[in-house]
Amino acid sequence: MEMILLNTEEKMEKAIGTLHKHLVAIRTGRANPGMLENVEAMYYGAPTPINQMSSISVVEGRQLVIKPFDKSIIKDIERALNEHNLGYPIQNEGDILRINIPALTEERRKEFAKDATKCGEDAKVAMRNVRRDANDAIKKEKEFGEDVKKDGQESVQKLTDEFVKQIDVLVEDKIKEIMSI
């Protein structure tokens, strides 16, 4: 029983981690190096995240400055950023790249808030799937008596409730961040 619960908790933590990655990628109106977390450029023939081959800093809250460790790959990074369709103009200044992040309109803020809510709902669906799998595993165990199975299912439900609360808090915080000017 304990192995089933540990496995369930591990899967739920992974789902929270995935949600966190998705929420970081949603814009808030401020420049954030996390916006480029999923962007990869070719580096010596292998796709590499640009945050591993350059320093990314925020200037004045509305501008990202990307300074590659190896200046010869600046074109590759620029190409990767353009292919990623960030929606912002990229300025190549020879040894650094600048990305200006314009302020969000109220309409765009609401769209991003909806995206955050959708990410939260997807995470909740993942939690329910993990819960279902755990409950199925408990039901299939022939060694467990009815009381043990019932207690196990209650424990799985408590775990699920805890993680759903975490999801709600993460999404709520992200929406507050998006809607604040």
Output the domain CATH number for residue 61. Answer: 3.30.1360.40
Beta strands per DSSP E along the chain: 40-43, 46-49, 54-59, 63-68, 90-92, 97-100
Q: How far apart are CA 18 and CA 111, in angstroms?
A: 20
Q: What angle do CA 115, 9, 132 make, to 5 degrees?
A: 75
Number of domains in the chain: 2
Helices (H), 31-105: 74-83
- Residue range of the domain that includes 56: 33-100
* Residue 113 sits in the same domain as residue 172: yes
Q: What is the pLDDT of residues 131-174, one digit of tens each?
A: 999 999 988 888 888 888 899 999 999 999 999 999 999 999 99
Decide: pTM greater than 0.85. no
CATH number at residue 147: 1.10.132.20
Q: What is the pLDDT of residues 79-123, one digit of tens each?
A: 998 888 777 888 999 899 999 888 778 888 899 899 999 999 999
Hey, what are 76's tokens?
A: 């590759």
